[in-house]
């Protein structure tokens, strides 16, 4: 089937491969704690060392997410967060950072409610490069994955510790951009990722695909980010950043923390 060819995302991973370093992928919830502050933080992420931005779609029932991201979704919704405003955030980032990949991460319901064709057109216009929709399994590829690929947007799938060799081909089929390996069994922020446990799983996935493998769920500190960066093509941090926002940290303080994580991914900081 047709998949996106050269994109901002593929170019970014090619550049990082040439530099022999892992990608730093940072997640924030769009609209958290409010629309304007979320845009300020999102626009500051690339300057703070972020290679790929994951922008969360606020939703009332984020079943794969732990308390930190659930609370972020509720803050966003209470402040008027919507899919349309999420795309406004993407547009603001794209206007300031033409080359930074932007991935939307969330659930299918808001997309379905808007209409797949309309959503894909608007996402492309906003400068979105791909999406992670955690509640659409491979058996439902015709719903969104295939139309997204046809529209030039990556559809990034999750692999987990329970994705065995029999299931892995289905997960990888039609996936593009990168594979997101969930380092723990459970919800986001539930436990700390172990590089020792992650390394053989990343190697197993890489034997089955040429796509980069990024590891998320359970990466909380610069030290943890550095350890995962040594065994994966990318490190995803979400709950730890969102928790800082939830605690009321200013955008400046949030971005300082993001910079410490970026230094960890790059192996530049022993202690932050």
pLDDT, one tens digit per residue, over 31-56 is 999 999 999 999 999 999 999 999 99
Question: What are the percentages of helix, strand and coil residues in the chain, rounded to 5?
Answer: 45, 15, 40
Which member of 6, 32, 36, 65 is catalytic? 65
Residue 16 lies in a domain: yes
Locate 96 and state its tokens.
């300031």
Residue 233 lies in a domain: yes
Q: Known catalytic residue: 65?
A: yes
Locate 43 and state its tokens.
């626009």
* The residue to which tokens 């955030």 are assigned: 89
pTM of the predicted model as reported, rounded to 2 decimal places: 0.94
Strand partners, 154: 130
Strand partners, 236: 25
Calculate the average pLDDT of the chain: 93
3 state SS of 178: coil
Residue 2 lies in a domain: no
Q: Known catalytic residue: 61?
A: no
Residue 270 lies in a domain: no
Residue 1 lies in a domain: no
The pLDDT of residue 193 is above 70 = no
Total count of residues recorded for the chain: 272
Q: What is the pLDDT of residue 63?
A: 80
Residue 40 lies in a domain: yes
> Which residues span the domain enclosing 212?
8-265
Question: Number of folded domains in the chain?
Answer: 1
Which member of 32, 51, 54, 233 is catalytic? 54
Cβ neighbours for 92, distance < 8 A, ≥ 6 positions apart? 39, 42, 43
* Average pLDDT, integer, range 78-88: 97
- CA-wise closest residue to 134 among 187, 204, 183, 73: 187
CATH code of residue 254: 3.20.20.70
Calculate ∠ Cα 195-255-265, nearest 5°: 25
Residue 198 lies in a domain: yes
Strand partners, 131: 104, 155
């Amino acid at each position: 089937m047709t998949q996106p060819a050269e994109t901002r995302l593929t170019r970014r991973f090619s550049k990082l491969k040439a530099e022999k370093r892992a990608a730093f992928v940072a997640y924030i919830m769009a609209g958290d704690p409010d629309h304007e502050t979320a845009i300020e933080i999102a626009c500051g992420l690339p300057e703070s060392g972020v290679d790929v931005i994951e922008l969360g779609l606020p939703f009332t029932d984020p079943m794969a997410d732990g308390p930190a991201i659930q609370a972020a979704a509720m803050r966003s919704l209470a402040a008027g967060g919507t899919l349309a405003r999420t795309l406004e955030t993407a547009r603001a980032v794209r206007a300031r950072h033409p080359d930074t990949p932007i991935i939307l991460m969330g659930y299918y319901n808001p997309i379905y409610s808007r209409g797949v064709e309309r959503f894909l057109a608007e996402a492309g216009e906003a400068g979105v490069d791909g999406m992670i929709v955690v509640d659409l399994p491979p058996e439902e590829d015709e719903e969104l994955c295939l139309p997204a690929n046809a529209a030039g947007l990556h559809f990034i799938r999750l692999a987990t510790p329970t994705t065995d060799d029999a299931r892995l081909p289905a997960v990888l089929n039609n996936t593009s951009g990168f594979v997101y390996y969930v380092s723990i069994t459970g919800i986001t922020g539930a436990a700390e990722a172990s590089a020792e446990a992650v390394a053989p799983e990343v190697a197993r996935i890489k034997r089955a695909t040429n796509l980069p493998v990024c590891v998320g769920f359970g990466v909380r500190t610069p030290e943890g980010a550095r350890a995962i960066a040594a065994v994966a093509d990318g490190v995803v941090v979400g709950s730890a950043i969102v928790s800082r926002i939830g605690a009321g940290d200013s955008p400046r303080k949030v971005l300082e923390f993001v910079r410490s994580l970026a230094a960890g991914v790059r192996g530049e900081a022993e202690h932050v």
